[in-house]
Amino acid sequence: MLTATVIAAHLWLLSEARELHDHWMPNIPEPERLQAAFVRELAPAPPPPPATAAPKEGPPGTPQRRIESMPALGEGPAPLPPDPAASEPPPELQALAMPPALAISDAVGTWMPGIEWPLSTELDYKLTGDFRGPIYGDARVQWLREGSHYQVHLEAWIGPKFAPLMSRRMSSDGEITPVGLVPHRFDEVTGGLAGGNRQSTLLFDDGGVRLADGRRVPVADGTQDAASQFVQFTWQFLTGRLASHGGQLIQQPLALPRNVHLWRYQVRNLEEVATPLGPIPAWHVDSDMTDTRGDMQAEFWLAPSLQYLPVRVRIWQNRQTDPRTHIDLVLKAPPKQAQATSASGAASKPTAATGP
């Protein structure tokens, strides 16, 4: 009788705890997945100059947010002859300066992202790694945009996709703004024969985020999640907000399922990444963290010839205590992109399903 009473009490407490967790984190369905028709392969090319974009005009009478633009080379008034007495600024200062064309005025009004953001893009990777022995699989990253609405989906699976031993998907949904990505929601879903069926959700609001355990914590402006950070870095390198040179230290606030960190990365060297497409030069951006509090770490390689998209991503479960357990994603096919329909660089309107 005593044993039955104790078991009943434990079951009641477990039920109450589940109801309390559901109250903290209501089961809100994920946003509907954006779609894009990927119609062209992205061929390697010299890195483009920092892009400028004109704001998309809103309804008549709407005040517009201006993006200041400098004359292109060869246009506008002829430059003044250089002053022989003037000394050149140090190269590192030239590299770190934000291009004037990207300065945004404080005028309010309608703003739409343009050619400074990559078109909707799909990247396929070969997955290798180690988890109590060698593991093999595949992965796919989709960057989807429709107007100022964006989504990032990173999906990886070990074994065959139709019956994976383990799978994981990280999805970010939010808004593109003049100062970068602003996540609204992040989902991490683990599945597969050995992965069970677990989901963690982060919900962002004005100045804060509700973590997977229901706690709401404040976040700084510019905070990214585990999926959006890769596109944020691509945009910062593509537009010159981050300079491409070794030794640069980058601090990026990250909201992860259990914690909010001021994460540190260091740009190491321009390295050749061996891929099935041949060697691709890419900037190695490594996580300069020892106090991860058990959260996963990532390092990645951004290729200037492919719009600074990641051609390799390595994710560590716990790099400090278990350096063997990791997955390594290497680009295995040319990136595929949607077709632009206007000078603003918006993704093509005709859509088609592009994966699960």
More confident residue, 298 or 312: 312
- Pick from 70-74, 213-217, 345-349 the range whose average pLDDT is largest: 213-217
- What pLDDT was estimated at residue 183? 97
More confident residue, 179 or 26: 179
Task: Write down the architecture of domain 121-337 according to CATH.
Answer: Clam (2.50)
Distance CA 16, CA 322 (A): 36
Distance CA 333, CA 245 (A): 27
**Average per-residue pLDDT in the chain?**
77
User: pLDDT per residue over 59-89, tens digit each?
Assistant: 444 333 333 333 333 333 334 444 444 344 3
- What pLDDT was estimated at residue 196? 75
Closest listed residue to residue 170, CA positions, set 233, 235, 225, 222: 225
Say if residues 279 and 129 touch (Cβ distance below 8 Å).
Answer: no
Q: What is the mean pLDDT of residues 223-231?
A: 95
% of the chain beyond a pLDDT of 90: 48
Distance CA 252, CA 286 (A): 12
User: pLDDT per residue over 106-133, tens digit each?
Assistant: 334 567 888 889 999 999 999 999 988 9
